[in-house]
Amino acid sequence: MDSSTLSRIGLAGLAVMGQNLALNIAEKGFPISVYNRTTSKVDETVDRAHREGSLPLTGQYSPREFVLSLQRPRSVIILVKAGNPVDQTIAALSDHMEPGDCIIDGGNEWYENTERRIQQISNKGILYLGMGVSGGEEGARNGPSLMPGGSYQAYSNIQDILMKVAAQVEDGPCVTYIGEGGAGNFVKMVHNGIEYGDMQLISEAYDVLKHVGGLSNSELADIFAEWNSGELESFLVEITADIFKVKDDIGDGYLVDKILDKTGMKGTGKWTVQQAAELSVAAPTIAASLDCRYLSGLKEERENASAVLKEAGLNEEAGFVKSGIDKKRLIDDVRQALYASKICSYAQGMNLLRAKSDEKGWNLNLGELARIWKGGCIIRAVFLDRIKKAYQRNPNLASLIVDPEFAKEMVQRQGAWRRVVGLAISAGISTPGMCASLAYFDTYRRARLPANLVQAQRDLFGAHTYERLDRPGAFHTEWTKIARQSGTGVAALN
Ligand SMILES: *[C@@H]1O[C@H](CO)[C@@H](O)[C@H](O)[C@H]1NC(C)=O
Ligand SMILES: *[C@@H]1O[C@H](CO)[C@@H](O)[C@H](O)[C@H]1NC(C)=O
């Protein structure tokens, strides 16, 4: 083949994300070859490229032809289901690749799988990137947030493409080299965990406004639209406003009220919580959002429980609109509670990233990660610019909560935050995400916790020893013996 007709890059795996990313790359002027085992997928993509503006995209029908249609060093993005399909695709393509070529996995892969593949394929001299891609279908087509990790050389080979293809914000394209090994996948995983938290917190704000405040769907649409022009401006708040506007097309009322209250999930949220536990990092808001998805899945059990507890005499008042509520005040309070809860959730996610970075030596730049999430991805929000600046001010910031600006905002909002959570609790409306965030804040900010008592208990039953506030060393006390000897001990009461 004449080298001038070779494509700059290739993409294999033409499901929704793959097709859209391929068209995006072609549209930015980079000739691309596409491949999928299912030939109809190739035809479909070629057809779309033609219809969407005669884009420089070529369909290929065998792994060999596909690989040979690329300029060297070859770069191939694969977008197939995580796990085995990735290994199969790598096997099919790498047979035809040469040392210096590169495979870029754009799926939501477990970071350790990427690290294993980096090792395996390095035997053939092939480079590898695990690249988080966020933004769904729309983002892939018009500008996603990209989180490439692995071989820096491989990143350099396609940096110009990634910079053009990524979402653009005022301080640059939403892509950066994340770090070695599985760093890109890991960062994408935590992004998704944060996304779980955001969605949970928004759903709680909705629940409180609807069930405590008695707001209608059209009022909710207006409130969320209004919030989207302030500190909460974000993709998720924007789409939430839209959701409340959609009428049911096969019945009366609004569509949102007809949707079964069972949440699906694909695993990145669970991984985030597992990793937090592995690294001893508290991530209660993200964990609460995961627990809520599990509980939502028990629809039938919850219906039964509702009936049993009603039978047992549970006050019907719980869960009903409070009379005499000041709607305007409630709406303003919920906005503040949502914002403060969100700061705590991001603080957890960022600290998880920091802990993993320290463990793996990834050298993650947290401010830069916040920056590349400002556009393209699902958690994109104006607020991420503030996070970026917080880490620019102090790259070693222990927690977002103690950044001077965020600290001020948390303090300003805590009254509203406590009112919302208190009101929800007394109304029997569960707000696990907001409660987890508030408890995280209150636990983190308190110089003294009741952990002294836990240490005493551990020393009593397990001789685990304890430290003292007033002198160094490990101490052990015969708690029971002393307590029961002394006149005021437990035994003396018998
Ligand atoms: C091709 O398409 C099918 C079905 O859409 C998919 O399951 C498969 O993983 C795709 N990828 C490749 C590389 O063949
Ligand atoms: C719910 O209750 C019904 C009727 O008692 C029972 O048949 C069903 O197994 C229960 N479901 C669950 C998931 O507990």
Q: Is the CB of 480 under 6 A from ligand 2?
A: no
Q: For residues 90 and 223, what is the distance between their CA atoms, to the nearest angstrom?
A: 48
> Of 252-256, 261-265, 363-367, 463-467, which range is least confident?
261-265
Query: Mean pLDDT across the stretch 111-138?
Result: 96
Among 21, 34, 36, the mutation site with the greatest number of ligand 1 atoms within 8 A of its Cβ is 36
Task: Annotate 406-449 with DSSP letters as a single string.
Answer: HHHHHHHHHHHHHHHHHHHHHHT---HHHHHHHHHHHHHH-S--
pLDDT at 27 over 50: yes
Query: Mean pLDDT across the stretch 152-156?
Result: 98
Full 3-state SS string of 62-100: CHHHHHHCECCCCEEEECCCCCHHHHHHHHHHHCCCCCC
**Residue 374 a catalytic site member:** no
Tell me: is residue 191 an annotated ligand-binding position: yes
Q: What mean pLDDT, rounded, does the chain reach?
A: 95
Percent of the chain with pLDDT over 70: 96
Of the pLDDT bands very low, low, confident and very high (cuts 50, 70, 90), residue 492 is very low
Q: What is the dihedral of CA 330, 310, 287, 143, to 10 degrees?
A: -60
- pLDDT of res. 324: 78
Between the alpha carbon of residue 239 and those of residues 123, 225, 256, the distances in Å are 46, 9, 13
Q: Which strands make up the sheet holding 57-60, listed edge to edge? A: 57-60, 32-35, 9-12, 75-78, 102-105, 127-134, 145-150
Of the pLDDT bands very low, low, confident and very high (cuts 50, 70, 90), residue 2 is low
- The three-class DSSP label of residue 467 is coil
Q: Whose CA is nearest to atom 2 of ligand 2?
A: 304
Among 14, 16, 86, 104, the mutation site with the greatest number of ligand 1 atoms within 8 A of its Cβ is 14
For residue 308, report the distance from its CA to the centre of ligand 2, in Å.
11
Q: Whose CA is nearest to atom 14 of ligand 2?
A: 301
Query: What are the pLDDT digits (tens) for 45-80?
Result: 999 999 999 999 999 999 999 999 999 999 999 999
Tell me: is residue 132 an annotated ligand-binding position: no
> Of 104-108, 312-316, 375-379, 426-430, which range is least confident?
312-316
From the candidates 188, 342, 356, 374, give the one annotated as an active-site residue: 188
pLDDT at 486 over 80: no
pLDDT at 3 over 70: no
Q: For residues 238 and 231, what is the distance between their CA atoms, to the nearest angstrom?
A: 12
Tell me: is residue 141 an annotated ligand-binding position: no
For residue 23, report the distance from its CA to the centre of ligand 1, in Å.
17
For residue 304, report the distance from its CA to the centre of ligand 2, in Å.
6
Closest CA to 329 of 419, 399, 269: 419
Please list the helix, strand and coil fractions of the chain in percent, rounded to the nearest 5, in that order: 55, 10, 35
pLDDT at 176 over 90: yes
For residue 298, report the distance from its CA to the centre of ligand 2, in Å.
11
- pLDDT of res. 318: 54
Query: What are the pLDDT digits (tens) for 251-274?
Result: 999 999 999 999 988 889 999 999
Between the alpha carbon of residue 474 and those of residues 430, 466, 468, 481, the distances in Å are 42, 6, 8, 19
Q: For residues 341 and 406, what is the distance between their CA atoms, to the nearest angstrom?
A: 12
Atom of ligand 2 nearest to the CA of 300: 13
Between the alpha carbon of residue 66 and those of residues 54, 96, 430, the distances in Å are 20, 9, 53
**Residue 360 a catalytic site member:** no
Written as six digits, the tokens of 216 are 């209608």
Q: Whose CA is nearest to atom 8 of ligand 1?
A: 13
Ligand 1: lining residues by beta carbon, under 6 Å: 12-15, 36-38, 41, 80, 85, 89
For residue 262, report the distance from its CA to the centre of ligand 2, in Å.
17
Q: For residues 175 and 148, what is the distance between their CA atoms, to the nearest angstrom?
A: 8
- pLDDT of res. 491: 47
For residue 42, report the distance from its CA to the centre of ligand 1, in Å.
10
Of the pLDDT bands very low, low, confident and very high (cuts 50, 70, 90), residue 494 is very low
Atom of ligand 1 nearest to the CA of 78: 13
- The number of beta carbons lying within 10 Å of the beta carbon of residue 311 is 8
Query: Mean pLDDT across the stretch 346-372?
Result: 98
Percent of the chain with pLDDT over 90: 94
pLDDT at 493 over 50: no
- pLDDT of res. 316: 63
- pLDDT of res. 320: 58
pTM comes to: 0.94
Q: For residues 372 and 56, what is the distance between their CA atoms, to the nearest angstrom?
A: 27
Domains of the chain: 3-181 (3.40.50.720), 188-444 (1.10.1040.10), 451-493 (1.20.5.320)
**Closest ligand to the CA of 12:** 1
Q: Whose CA is nearest to atom 10 of ligand 1?
A: 13
Closest CA to 22 of 147, 135, 140: 140
- pLDDT of res. 265: 84
Written as six digits, the tokens of 377 are 């991805």
Among 295, 302, 304, 306, the mutation site with the greatest number of ligand 2 atoms within 8 A of its Cβ is 304
Residue 474 class from Cβ within 10 Å (0-12 exposed, 13-18 middle, 19+ buried)? exposed
Query: Mean pLDDT across the stretch 132-148?
Result: 96
Query: Mean pLDDT across the stretch 17-38?
Result: 97
Closest CA to 184 of 131, 237, 248, 249: 131
Query: Mean pLDDT across the stretch 117-143?
Result: 96
> Of 197-206, 263-272, 290-299, 322-331, which range is least confident?
322-331
Are the C-beta atoms of 26 and 55 separated by less than 8 Å? yes
Q: For residues 238 and 313, what is the distance between their CA atoms, to the nearest angstrom?
A: 40
- The number of beta carbons lying within 10 Å of the beta carbon of residue 418 is 15
Q: Whose CA is nearest to atom 4 of ligand 2?
A: 304
Q: What is the dihedral of CA 295, 300, 303, 304, to 10 degrees?
A: -110
From the candidates 27, 115, 195, 409, give the one annotated as an active-site residue: 195
- The number of beta carbons lying within 10 Å of the beta carbon of residue 100 is 14
Tell me: is residue 415 an annotated ligand-binding position: no
Q: Is the CB of 306 under 6 A from ligand 2?
A: no
Query: What are the pLDDT digits (tens) for 377-389?
Result: 999 999 999 999 9
Query: What are the pLDDT digits (tens) for 307-357?
Result: 999 999 987 665 556 677 899 999 999 999 999 999 999 999 999 999 999
